[in-house]
A and B are shown apart, each in its own frame.
Chain A
Amino acid sequence: AQSVTQLDSQVPVFEEAPVELRCNYSSSVSVYLFWYVQYPNQGLQLLLKYLSGSTLVKGINGFEAEFNKSQTSFHLRKPSVHISDTAEYFCAVSEPKTGFQKLVFGTGTRLLVSP
């Protein structure tokens, strides 16, 4: 069975500093990987996704993530954060099979950006 681990429940950082949010997954097969962001009192919005090909994936709002198969990781990075990046971030995994597939989510990492 697939699972996702987000090691940090909360990450405080100062504005304009770099940030990395960690995500590790377990799966015996190839995977699709996703990062979603949830701003306060809103639903989830897709930041970026890895399906195949280049292991470095660029998303919206200056975020990027790198798929590392040997370490089963998909860490999210941003070189310089803004106050507006304060949100909760969820990593998710699914299997690329045809037909119906669920997403398995991590427990989330709350990014707190302060001036």
Chain B
Amino acid sequence: DVKVTQSSRYLVKRTGEKVFLECVQDMDHENMFWYRQDPGLGLRLIYFSYDVKMKEKGDIPEGYSVSREKKERFSLILESASTNQTSMYLCASSLAAGGNNEQFFGPGTRLTVL
């Protein structure tokens, strides 16, 4: 059974803290994505990666960075958390060439920044 796992389901942090969200996939997918989901706004792409050590900005990268040191792992970093980063964060992965762009999602991390 294919799987995308995220390190935490719920996370509470304080303003100014550095926050790491981890995502691991076991499908040998080349592409990995980080989204945030807010009511009424749907899914917004923060960053994506199409290969190890490669990253591209999505639609809302400000305040975030990412790291991909291994193919199966994609980390989202909030350098200095702020209250407006309270949200649901979803990780996804997909095949590159030969795929149909279908993305497989993790269960999400609900982050609250106080």
Contact = CB atoms under 8 A, between A and B. Distances in A.
Contact of A42 (B40, B45, B102, B108): B108
Contact of B100 (A43, A51, A100): A51
B102 A49 contact: yes
Interface residues of B, number: 26
Contacts of B45: 102
B69 to A, nearest CB: 19
Contacts of B61: none
A99 B97 contact: yes
B64 interface: no
B43 A105 contact: yes
Interface in B70-114: 90, 92, 96-97, 100-108, 110
A33 B48 CA distance: 20
A49 B90 contact: no
Interface of A: 9, 32, 34, 36, 41-46, 49, 51, 90, 94, 96, 98-103, 105-108
22 contacts: A9-B40, A32-B101, A42-B108, A43-B4, A43-B106, A43-B107, A44-B43, A44-B105, A46-B102, A49-B102, A51-B100, A90-B43, A94-B101, A98-B97, A100-B50, A100-B96, A101-B101, A102-B45, A102-B48, A102-B101, A103-B101, A107-B41
